[in-house]
Amino acid sequence: MATQELSNRWRARSLSEEQWGKQKKMILAQSTLLSLVDNILLEMEDTVMKDESTLDQYSVASWAYLQAHRNGQKNTLKELKKLTQHLRK
């Protein structure tokens, strides 16, 4: 069950309290869609973590760049998951 605590990222800086209230209701009403997105993000995160756990990556001369890319992927997924955190509480 979704709680009322949404990530601050959903709120645009220029919204009035009334506009924010309407936007918040709209976001919470989309819990089915957001749950699907949340599951996709979790699957993507699992894939990145599995790819990272193999030692084969170190046989490539540019492994440091690959690691930097994976770190960027993990950070992006972490930020996106914050948008759906209210579904997991």
- Give me the residue label for tokens 């997105």: 37
Q: What pLDDT, on a 0 to 100 scale, did the predictor assign at position 58?
A: 80
Is residue 16 packed enough to be buried (19+ CB in 10 Å), middle (13-18) or exposed (0-12)?
A: exposed
Q: What is the pLDDT of residues 55-65, one digit of tens each?
A: 787 888 888 99
Mean pLDDT for 9-37 is 90
Mean pLDDT for 11-32 is 90
Determine the Cα–Cα distance for residues 48 and 81; give it in Å rounded to an integer.
14
Verdict on whether the full-model pTM lies above 0.85? no
> What is the full DSSP assignment across 9-30?
GGS-TT--HHHHHHHHHHHHHT
Confidence bin at 44 (pLDDT 50/70/90): very high
Determine the Cα–Cα distance for residues 49 and 36; give it in Å rounded to an integer.
20
Mean pLDDT for 23-39 is 93
